[in-house]
Every structure is written in structure tokens, then in C-alpha cells.
């Protein structure tokens, strides 16, 4: 089977779907891996590294299986061989036009952000691997913008108090943000509507903020679920009081397939101290802060709100390594006897297959 790796076309995307290490692993498994010239250059992987690993440089678009990071552009879809297979983070749940175009060309597509959160799919979990990078980088962005340093310092010029950091959402990104802020010396707190994560937050040296009458919102697969209107209002009131004395607030809350919940209202931002920073990792799905503008920096009453997009692409080498291993494991799951075999009775395949036999499945 021929596996193709094109250069990503989305603006600002520096990751590559397969790095030389995993491309070489697939080549040793008997597949022909064809990598477009320059596909890995922005992530620090030159063409020569692929050829040394056993891959070939060439035109990937006619491959049997195309490995992508982000969804293909409308122009690129026309270059994919009819009947081929596409694997990538296709944002399928919110991209019906893409699914229609892929189905029209009878392309079988798998959207990796839909990998179920089950034990045997852990090595394919692209959301977790990329969220790890995003949580780490969010803290660095906050540290760069903040007028304070994070650690406590005792100097001849006096003692500097440590920064106070609050992380909303204790999923993979949130826990990595907590760990990174702690390593930088901040006093860190975490909040989540899932009581089960309290132990994880505290194991990283952070304080878990609990409401007096704790609302709970744990859904299927360990993800958060939407709260009732009353529960959400109590959550907003609690968080408005909690953010007032924070120097940095990092928000990571997401609900699969839905708009990100608003956790920090305009009024809550108005109550924060001047110089405080909000880094909203949910900016791509609407934002956890009412004032977030995706992809921009906004100043409101002395509070800076950052809405970064695609943070993993800003750390492309390690993000690509992690993503590539997810992709290679998924490909090995799909391929039997040298070809893609779509078994819709399999839980992983069924959850991720978004177009098959000329039809969209979402």
C-alpha cells in the first residue's frame, strides 16, 4: 500500500502528519511511503531524513492512503485519487461541506479527533497528544505577557511574591498547564466540574477549587457535559469570585461537538486586577471567556485576553512526533493484508469513519 504525506496547506500550520521515524516504521512494515518535498521542513525534518528512513520523495496525492494533519483544501480534494483513504483531524462534526466533497469522490475518510476514549485507542488519541502541547505553551504565553514573574524570589532588593495561576478544566491540556505553571514556581489552583479529577489536580501540587454545592458535569468517556442553566449560573458566580485575585487564568474547558462553555463573563473580567492575563485555549470553539476574540490579543480594563489558535503548530517538532505516532498506530489498526479494511463493527473504526462508499456518515 502507498501512504502519502503532503505538505500542509492551512495558514500557520507547521506540523507534518508523519515524521521520518514513523514513516520508516511503516516502510519496514511493507508500505511504500511517499513524502512531498518540504513536507516536514517547517517541523525540523528535512527531505533527506525521510529518504534515509526508507521513504521516498514524490507526489503523495495519488497514494492509496493520505495522512494529513488538518483537513484538505477544496483544491487539494481534487488531487486525491478517487476511492483513496484520508486520515487526519478533519473537524468532521462541523464541516459538512468537506464530507460532501469527499463522499462525491468516494474517498473513505477518518477524522482522528473522533477517536473514542477507550484503553486500546490511547495510542491513537490525537486530541490528548496535541492538548499536552497546548497546555504547556499556554503557560509560556501567559508568562511572556504577564507583568509579573511566576516564582517567588528572595533578593537583596526584597521578596517578590509568586504569581497566582488558575486553570479552568482539568483535562489533558489543563493538567499540563497546571504542571508547567508549578514548574515555573507559581501558586496554582485548578477547577473542573468533574469531581473525579480532584486527585489529579492535587497530585501536581495545585489546589482544587470546589464549590460549596459542587455542580457535576461528567459525561461519556470522561469528557465534561453541558450543565443545566441553574448549575451553569452558580458556576459562573463561583468563578467570577475565584478569578478576582488571580494573575493568570488559563481556560481549557470543551464539550465534544458543541460550543465551548462560557466560564468567564464580561463582568468577571471587569472584577479582575489590572495586569491579569486570560489565555483561552477554547478560542477555536467560541471561547471560555465572553470577551475572547479568536486569534487576537484583547485588552479590557487592564486585563489582557489572549485567544490563541492552533498552539501545537507553534511547537511543530514535538507536536509532529506525537501526532505521527498516533497516525501510524491508527493506520496499522486499519490496514490488514496490505490494504485498508473498513470494519464498521469495530468501535474505533465506527467512531472515526466519516465518509464511506460515497456517503457521509455524520
Query: Any idea what the CATH number is for the domain that residue 223 is in?
Result: 3.40.50.720
pLDDT score of 229? 85
Better-predicted residue by pLDDT, 281 or 259? 281
Residue 119 covered by a domain? no
Residue 216 covered by a domain? yes
Active-site annotation holds for 128 = yes
- Rounded average pLDDT over 248-260: 90
Residue 196 covered by a domain? yes
Active-site annotation holds for 233 = no
- Rounded average pLDDT over 244-257: 92
pLDDT score of 171? 95
In this structure, is the dihedral angle defined by the CA atoms of residues 151, 298, 255 and 102, taken in order, positive or negative? negative
Residue 234 covered by a domain? yes
Q: How many domains does the chain have?
A: 2
Say what the pTM is. 0.92
Residue 212 covered by a domain? yes
pLDDT tens digits, one per residue of 10-29: 999 999 999 999 999 999 99
Q: Answer yes or no: do 11 and 42 share one domain.
A: yes
pLDDT-based confidence at residue 269 (cuts at 50, 70, 90) = very high
Share of the chain above pLDDT 90, in %: 90
CA distances from 332 to 89, 214, 221, 320 (A): 17, 43, 23, 18
Q: Answer yes or no: do 154 and 284 share one domain.
A: yes
Q: Answer yes or no: do 162 and 90 share one domain.
A: no
Selecting among 70, 76, 183, 223, the annotated active-site residue is 223
Q: Answer yes or no: do 236 and 271 share one domain.
A: yes
Q: Would the pLDDT of 224 be above 60?
A: no
Selecting among 59, 73, 122, 343, the annotated active-site residue is 122
Active-site annotation holds for 332 = no
pLDDT score of 225? 57
- Rounded average pLDDT over 265-287: 97
Q: Would the pLDDT of 257 be above 80?
A: no
Coil, strand or helix: which one is 360? strand
CB 209 within 8 A of CB 184: no
Selecting among 32, 128, 231, 314, the annotated active-site residue is 128
Residue whose grid cell is 495558514: 11
Distance (Å, rounded) from C-alpha 325 to C-alpha 143?
Answer: 30
Selecting among 81, 117, 182, 183, the annotated active-site residue is 117
Q: Would the pLDDT of 223 be above 80?
A: no
Q: Would the pLDDT of 251 be above 90?
A: yes
The whole domain housing 345 covers 2-114+316-360
The three cell numbers of residue 158 are 526584597
Distance (Å, rounded) from C-alpha 64 to C-alpha 84?
Answer: 5
Q: Answer yes or no: do 83 and 176 share one domain.
A: no
pLDDT-based confidence at residue 217 (cuts at 50, 70, 90) = low
Q: Answer yes or no: do 329 and 304 share one domain.
A: no
Q: Answer yes or no: do 295 and 320 share one domain.
A: no
**Final residue before a domain boundary, out of 281, 297, 313:** 313
Q: Answer yes or no: do 296 and 334 share one domain.
A: no
Q: Answer yes or no: do 260 and 350 share one domain.
A: no
pLDDT tens digits, one per residue of 278-331: 999 999 999 999 999 999 999 999 999 999 999 999 999 999 999 999 999 999
Q: Would the pLDDT of 222 be above 80?
A: no
Q: Answer yes or no: do 16 and 80 share one domain.
A: yes
Residue 128 covered by a domain? no
Distance (Å, rounded) from C-alpha 179 to C-alpha 282?
Answer: 19
Residue 121 covered by a domain? no
Selecting among 14, 15, 64, 125, the annotated active-site residue is 125
Q: Answer yes or no: do 161 and 86 share one domain.
A: no
Q: Answer yes or no: do 178 and 194 share one domain.
A: yes
Amino acid at each position: 500500500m502507498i501512504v502519502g504525506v503532503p505538505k500542509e496547506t492551512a495558514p500557520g500550520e507547521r506540523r507534518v502528519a508523519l515524521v521520518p521515524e514513523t514513516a520508516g516504521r511503516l516502510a519496514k512494515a511493507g508500505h511504500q511511503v511517499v513524502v512531498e518535498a518540504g513536507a516536514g521542513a517547517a517541523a525540523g525534518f528535512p527531505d533527506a531524513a525521510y529518504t534515509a528512513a526508507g521513504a521516498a520523495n514524490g507526489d503523495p496525492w495519488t497514494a492509496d492512503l493520505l495522512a494529513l494533519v488538518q483537513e484538505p483544501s477544496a483544491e487539494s480534494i481534487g488531487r486525491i485519487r478517487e476511492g483513496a483513504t484520508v486520515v487526519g483531524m478533519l473537524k468532521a462534526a462541523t464541516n459538512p461541506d468537506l464530507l460532501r466533497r469527499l463522499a462525491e469522490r468516494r474517498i473513505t475518510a477518518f477524522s482522528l479527533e473522533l477517536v473514542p476514549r477507550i484503553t486500546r485507542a490511547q495510542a491513537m488519541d490525537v486530541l490528548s497528544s496535541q492538548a499536552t502541547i497546548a497546555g504547556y505553551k499556554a503557560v509560556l504565553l501567559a508568562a511572556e505577557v504577564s507583568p509579573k514573574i511566576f516564582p517567588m524570589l528572595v533578593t537583596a532588593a526584597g521578596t517578590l511574591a509568586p504569581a497566582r495561576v488558575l486553570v479552568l478544566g482539568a483535562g489533558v491540556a489543563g493538567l499540563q498547564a497546571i504542571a508547567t505553571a508549578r514548574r515555573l514556581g507559581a501558586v496554582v489552583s485548578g477547577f473542573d466540574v468533574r469531581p473525579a479529577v480532584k486527585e489529579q489536580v492535587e497530585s501536581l501540587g495545585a489546589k482544587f477549587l470546589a464549590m460549596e454545592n459542587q455542580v457535576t458535569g461528567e459525561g461519556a468517556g470522561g469528557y465534561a457535559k453541558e450543565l443545566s442553566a441553574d448549575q451553569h449560573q452558580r458556576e459562573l458566580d463561583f468563578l467570577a469570585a475565584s478569578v478576582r485575585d488571580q494573575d493568570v487564568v488559563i481556560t481549557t474547558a470543551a464539550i465534544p461537538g458543541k460550543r465551548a462553555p462560557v466560564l468567564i463573563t464580561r463582568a468577571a473580567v471587569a472584577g479582575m486586577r489590572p495586569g491579569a492575563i486570560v489565555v483561552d485555549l477554547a478560542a477555536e470553539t467560541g471561547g471560555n471567556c465572553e470577551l475572547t476574540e479568536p486569534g487576537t490579543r484583547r485588552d479590557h480594563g487592564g486585563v489582557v485576553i489572549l485567544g490563541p489558535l492552533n498552539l501545537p503548530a507553534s511547537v511543530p517538532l514535538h507536536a509532529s512526533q506525537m501526532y505521527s505516532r498516533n497516525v501510524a498506530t491508527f493506520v496499522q489498526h486499519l490496514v490488514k493484508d496490505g490494504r485498508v479494511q473498513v470494519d464498521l463493527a469495530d468501535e474505533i473504526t465506527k467512531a472515526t469513519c466519516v465518509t464511506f462508499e460515497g456517503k457521509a456518515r455524520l
